[in-house]
Amino acid sequence: MVSCIYQSLPTVRLGKHARTLALRTSSYSNRSRLQQTFDVTQYLKQLGYPVTGNVSSQEEDGWILTRVAWIEKH
Protein backbone atom coordinates (compact mmCIF):
# COMPACT_ATOMS: atom_id res chain seq x y z
CA MET A 1 0.00 0.00 0.00
CA VAL A 2 1.29 3.43 -0.95
CA SER A 3 0.06 6.52 0.87
CA CYS A 4 0.07 10.00 -0.58
CA ILE A 5 -1.28 13.40 0.31
CA TYR A 6 -3.41 14.74 -2.50
CA GLN A 7 -2.04 18.27 -2.22
CA SER A 8 1.56 17.07 -2.72
CA LEU A 9 1.06 14.63 -5.62
CA PRO A 10 0.68 16.10 -9.11
CA THR A 11 -2.52 14.97 -10.81
CA VAL A 12 -0.66 13.50 -13.78
CA ARG A 13 1.37 11.19 -11.56
CA LEU A 14 -1.61 9.94 -9.53
CA GLY A 15 -2.87 7.81 -12.40
CA LYS A 16 0.53 6.16 -12.79
CA HIS A 17 0.70 5.25 -9.07
CA ALA A 18 -2.89 4.06 -8.92
CA ARG A 19 -2.50 1.72 -11.88
CA THR A 20 0.37 -0.22 -10.34
CA LEU A 21 -0.18 -0.19 -6.57
CA ALA A 22 -2.77 -0.23 -3.87
CA LEU A 23 -3.14 3.43 -3.02
CA ARG A 24 -4.38 5.44 -0.07
CA THR A 25 -4.91 9.13 -0.81
CA SER A 26 -5.47 11.75 1.90
CA SER A 27 -6.50 15.39 1.96
CA TYR A 28 -6.22 17.65 5.00
CA SER A 29 -7.95 20.95 5.72
CA ASN A 30 -6.38 24.11 7.09
CA ARG A 31 -8.99 25.95 9.07
CA SER A 32 -6.87 29.04 9.76
CA ARG A 33 -6.54 29.54 5.96
CA LEU A 34 -10.15 28.44 5.33
CA GLN A 35 -8.88 25.65 3.05
CA GLN A 36 -11.28 22.73 2.98
CA THR A 37 -10.34 19.17 2.18
CA PHE A 38 -10.43 17.92 -1.40
CA ASP A 39 -12.96 15.13 -2.05
CA VAL A 40 -10.44 12.42 -2.90
CA THR A 41 -13.15 9.75 -3.14
CA GLN A 42 -14.98 11.53 -5.94
CA TYR A 43 -11.68 12.39 -7.64
CA LEU A 44 -10.57 8.75 -7.78
CA LYS A 45 -14.01 7.71 -9.04
CA GLN A 46 -13.86 10.36 -11.78
CA LEU A 47 -10.55 8.86 -12.89
CA GLY A 48 -12.32 5.50 -13.20
CA TYR A 49 -10.87 3.74 -10.17
CA PRO A 50 -13.08 1.57 -7.96
CA VAL A 51 -12.78 3.07 -4.49
CA THR A 52 -12.53 0.26 -1.96
CA GLY A 53 -13.15 2.44 1.09
CA ASN A 54 -13.10 5.94 2.49
CA VAL A 55 -13.25 7.76 5.79
CA SER A 56 -13.34 11.34 7.03
CA SER A 57 -13.03 13.12 10.35
CA GLN A 58 -14.70 16.37 11.33
CA GLU A 59 -15.12 18.90 14.10
CA GLU A 60 -18.36 19.12 16.08
CA ASP A 61 -19.47 22.06 13.91
CA GLY A 62 -19.12 19.96 10.73
CA TRP A 63 -15.75 21.31 9.51
CA ILE A 64 -14.08 18.36 7.77
CA LEU A 65 -10.51 17.85 8.97
CA THR A 66 -9.38 14.90 6.88
CA ARG A 67 -10.61 12.76 3.99
CA VAL A 68 -8.99 9.46 3.05
CA ALA A 69 -9.90 7.12 0.18
CA TRP A 70 -8.20 3.94 -0.98
CA ILE A 71 -8.16 1.58 -3.92
CA GLU A 72 -6.76 -1.91 -4.39
CA LYS A 73 -4.19 -2.92 -6.98
CA HIS A 74 -5.82 -3.89 -10.26
Give just the sign of the alpha carbon dihedral 49, 54, 60, 66. Answer: negative
Number of domains present in the structure of the chain: 1
Tens digit of each residue's pLDDT (9 = 90 or more) over 39-50: 989 988 988 888
Residue 25 β-bridge partners: 4, 69
CB 14 within 8 A of CB 47: yes
Average pLDDT per 10 consecutive residues for the chain, totaling 74 residues: 56 58 84 92 87 94 94 73
Q: What share of the chain is helix, strand, coil (3-state, %, to 5)?
A: 30, 35, 35
- Which domain range does residue 45 map to? 2-71
Q: Hey, what's the torsion of the CAs at 70, 41, 74, 7, to 10 degrees?
A: -70
